[in-house]
């Protein structure tokens, strides 16, 4: 296969082929799934793994540079994605629906290096950048390949055991949770999940709110859902959605679009994902705004849940009109608002908070910025690789806030470069105090506090400050995970952590 005038690497050719043969949509027949493991799914093996990832506001695709210079950030990229990762064979990042193309589009491909504490370094060797002047009549034109020599570092991934899921952050793009949707969920009885929204930026403009901004005073920040299955049918019932307590009193409920919805699970371009609504009727195949939003949910072998809520997005440099649906929908809010949700199985008994904060973690800190103009990318957003928990706590932690029994210290890496750390641990310029675990919801910490140190790379205030947040915690494959969402005075924040020790 050729890409314009460039031959694709083997891993990228394979990713495109897999996308092409499954892009027609979901197939309602679900493959059989074993009932082993806490999530009712069997384990996966190591090697080449394809992950489903929702979008995150702030990402861009690249446009070709002038006179042979490297590509530069271009249009907004709030699109669902897949990643293929193989420690021996490299990685690729693929998106769907970019520039109104109907097939998969590889954006980046390169090599994988295993760093300290099993963090994966993703070095980009080839970027496929949009070229508005390219008139080559090929299937996936007008994108051109740019070769990096040496490869471009600065992208990282944290994978769960057996490649059941994880977290990925590409250079210049926000971190996203990723899930290996290797088969449909199979739950013999209702299985409860707790989740947080994947936030998008605030909208600072006037008039109607933006398509994929997030309004924490009115929209879902966190919640829970019971999931039951019957063949290919996956029902999300007893959906509970709440705003942040810090902006809604005690975290007042958000009225869901329905307390129970049923989707259909089957093989899709993203893996075995569940689509809601189950049936999608396209009334105008040539149009872009007649299709109602359709959420996609993937559940991995160790129980990780990831949702893309089918958010309506601009496919060009300008914002598209609202979808032609009645009633008009910004997205299919099955679980999270923003651009989707990430969730964990609810623990069957209260967690030992001391064990949770006593573990070591790798992950990412993402602040989503602000949308000022319709159709633009948010400003002020950032996403940094982070470690939390120390084998030996650095003295620099003392300047953040006094230690408590429910506090875990962590932070970014110097120059956002984990490879430069000889121990695999980063700075101590960020802290999370989980607070008290909810007495009625195991693993929910509704009154957490986040401390942003003066030295944290994205802190523009020059001083240490704090804000309120909500966290959900639990286990994936026998290891702890913490997902947190909150807002400071200017923008939303999310922290995604997976135990690394």
Q: Is the dihedral of CA 400, 403, 406, 412 positive or negative?
A: positive
User: CB within 8 A of 457, min separation 6: which ones?
Assistant: 382, 384, 412, 416
What is the span of the domain harbouring residue 156? 2-178
Residue 206 inside a domain? The answer is no
Give all strands (DSSP E) within 185-337, no chain letters. 191-198, 202-203, 222-230, 233-242, 260-268, 271-276, 295-299, 305-308
Q: Which residue has the higher pLDDT, 379 or 21?
A: 379
Q: Can you give the pLDDT at residue 208?
A: 53
- Would the pLDDT of 412 be above 50? yes
Confirm whether 13 is domain-assigned. yes
Q: pLDDT tens for residues 196-245?
A: 999 998 887 665 555 568 888 888 999 999 999 999 999 999 999 999 99
Residue whose structure tokens are 């009645």: 326
Q: Residue 289: what pLDDT?
A: 44
Residue 366 has what pLDDT? 97
Counting the structural domains of the chain, the total is 1
> What average pLDDT does range 271-288 have in this prediction?
65
What is the total residue count of the chain? 501
Q: What is the 3-state secondary structure (H, E, C) of 226-254?
A: EEEEECCEEEEEEEEEECCCCCCCCCCEC
Task: Classify residue 106: in a domain, yes or no.
Answer: yes
Question: Considering only 244-258, 422-436, 437-451, which range has the smallest mean pLDDT?
Answer: 244-258
pTM for the full predicted model: 0.88
Phi, psi for 356 (deg, rounded to 5): -65, -50
Bridge-based pairing state of the strands 370-371 and 202-203: parallel
The separation between CA 40 and the C-alpha centre of its own chain, rounded to angstroms, equals 23
**Strand segments (E) across 5-119:** 6-7, 49-53, 60-63, 72-76, 81-86, 90-96, 104-114
Q: What is the mean pLDDT of residues 355-380?
A: 88
How far apart CA 183 and CA 308 sit, in angstroms, is 17
pLDDT at 377: 75
Of 32-41, 159-168, 437-446, minimum mean pLDDT range: 32-41
Q: Over 90: is that where the pLDDT of 49 sits?
A: yes
- Grouping H, G, I as helix, E, B as strand and the rest as coil, residue 15 is helix
Does residue 12 form part of some domain?
A: yes
**What local confidence, expressed as pLDDT, does residue 248 receive?**
66
* Lowest model confidence (mean pLDDT) among 116-130, 270-284, 384-398: 270-284
3-class DSSP assignment, residue 12? helix
Question: How far apart, in whole angstroms, are the C-alpha atoms of residue 180 and residue 58?
Answer: 23
Q: Rounded to 10 degrees, what is the CA torsion of 208, 212, 218, 223?
A: 160
316-334: pLDDT as tens digits: 333 443 444 444 456 777 8
Give the position of tokens 């420690």.
87
The reported pLDDT for the residue numbered 101 is 60
Range in 320-324, 355-359, 377-381 with the lowest mean pLDDT: 320-324
Report the alpha-carbon distance of residue 30 to residue 198 in Å, rounded.
Answer: 27
Rounded average pLDDT over 313-318: 40
- Report the range of poorest mean pLDDT among 125-129, 206-210, 255-259, 328-332: 206-210
Name which of 213, 200, 222, 177 is nearest 448 in CA terms. Answer: 222
State the maximum Cα–Cα separation within the chain, in Å, rounded to a whole number: 63
Is residue 45 a part of any domain in this protein? yes
CB 240, CB 335: distance < 8 Å:
no
- Within a domain: 200: no
Judge whether 2 and 8 are in contact, CB under 8 Å: yes
pLDDT at 286: 39
Collapse the DSSP code of 429 into the 3-class scheme (helix H, G, I; strand E, B; otherwise coil) and give the result: coil
pLDDT at 292: 62
Peptide bond into 5 cis (omega under 30): no
User: Is pLDDT larger for residue 401 or for residue 249?
Assistant: 401
Phi and psi at 12, nearest 5°, equal: -70, -40
Pick the closest to residue 248 from 213, 215, 295, 289 (CA basis): 215
Q: Which two tokens stand for residue 112?
A: 């994988």
Q: Which of 151, 152, 50 is CA-nearest to residue 92?
A: 50
- Report the distance separating Cα 175 and Cα 121, nearest Å: 14
User: Is there a domain that residue 116 lies in?
Assistant: yes
Q: Where are the strands (E) in 97-232, listed by range?
A: 104-114, 120-130, 143-159, 165-169, 176-179, 191-198, 202-203, 222-230
With H, G, I as helix, E, B as strand and everything else as coil, classify residue 357: helix
Joined together, the tokens standing for residue 20 give: 């092409």
CA 219-175-15 angle, to 5 degrees, is 115
Structural domain contains residue 27 = yes
Say what percent of the chain tops pLDDT 70.
76
Q: Which residues pair with 23 in a beta bridge?
A: none
Q: What share of the chain has pLDDT > 90, as a percent?
A: 57
Burial of 412 (0-12, 13-18, 19+ CB in 10 A): buried
pLDDT digits (tens, 9 = 90+) for 10-38: 444 444 433 333 333 333 333 333 333 34
């Amino acid at each position: 296969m050729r890409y314009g005038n460039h031959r694709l690497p083997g891993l990228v050719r394979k990713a495109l082929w897999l996308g092409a043969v499954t892009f027609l949509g979901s197939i309602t027949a679900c493959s059989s799934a074993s009932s082993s493991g806490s999530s009712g799914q069997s384990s996966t093996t190591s090697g080449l793994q394809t992950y489903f990832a929702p979008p995150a506001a702030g990402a861009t695709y690249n446009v070709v540079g002038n006179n042979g210079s490297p590509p530069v950030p271009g249009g907004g990229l709030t699109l669902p994605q897949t990643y293929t990762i193989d420690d021996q064979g490299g990685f690729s990042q693929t998106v769907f629906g970019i520039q109104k193309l109907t097939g998969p589009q590889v954006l980046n491909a390169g090599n994988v290096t295993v760093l300290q504490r099993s963090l994966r370094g993703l070095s980009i060797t080839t970027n496929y950048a949009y070229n508005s002047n390219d008139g080559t009549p090929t299937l996936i034109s007008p994108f051109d390949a740019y070769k990096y020599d040496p490869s471009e570092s600065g992208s990282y991934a944290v994978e769960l055991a057996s490649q059941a899921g994880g977290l990925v952050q590409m250079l210049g793009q926000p971190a996203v949770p990723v899930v290996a949707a290797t088969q449909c969920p199979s739950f013999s009885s209702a299985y409860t999940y707790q989740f947080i929204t994947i936030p998008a930026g605030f909208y600072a403009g006037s008039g109607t709110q933006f398509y994929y901004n997030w309004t924490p005073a009115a929209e879902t920040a966190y919640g829970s859902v019971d999931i039951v299955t019957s063949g290919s049918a996956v029902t999300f019932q007893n959906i509970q959605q709440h705003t942040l307590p810090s902006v809604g009193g005690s975290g007042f409920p958000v009225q869901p679009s329905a307390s129970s919805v049923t989707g259909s699970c089957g093989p899709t371009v993203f893996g075995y994902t569940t689509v809601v609504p189950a049936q999608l009727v396209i009334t105008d195949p040539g149009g872009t705004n007649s299709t109602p939003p359709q959420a996609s949910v993937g559940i991995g072998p160790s129980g990780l849940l990831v949702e893309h809520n089918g958010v309506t997005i601009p496919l060009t440099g300008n914002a598209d009109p609202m979808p032609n649906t009645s009633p008009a929908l910004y997205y299919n809010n099955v679980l999270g608002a923003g651009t989707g949700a990430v969730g964990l199985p609810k623990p069957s008994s209260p967690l030992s908070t001391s064990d949770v904060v006593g573990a070591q973690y790798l992950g990412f800190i993402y602040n989503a910025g602000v949308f000022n103009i319709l159709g633009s990318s948010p400003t002020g957003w950032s996403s940094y690789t982070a470690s939390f928990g120390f084998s030996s706590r650095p003295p620099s932690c003392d300047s953040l806030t006094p230690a408590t029994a429910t506090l875990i210290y962590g932070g970014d890496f110097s120059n956002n470069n984990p490879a430069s750390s000889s121990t695999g641990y980063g700075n101590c310029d960020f802290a999370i105090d989980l607070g008290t675990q909810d007495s009625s919801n195991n693993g929910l910490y509704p009154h957490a506090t986040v401390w942003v140190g003066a030295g944290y790379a994205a802190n523009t205030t020059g001083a240490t400050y704090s804000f309120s947040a909500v966290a959900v915690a639990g286990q994936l494959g026998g290891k702890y995970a913490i997902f947190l969402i909150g807002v400071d005075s200017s923008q939303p924040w999310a922290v995604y952590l997976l135990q690394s020790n």
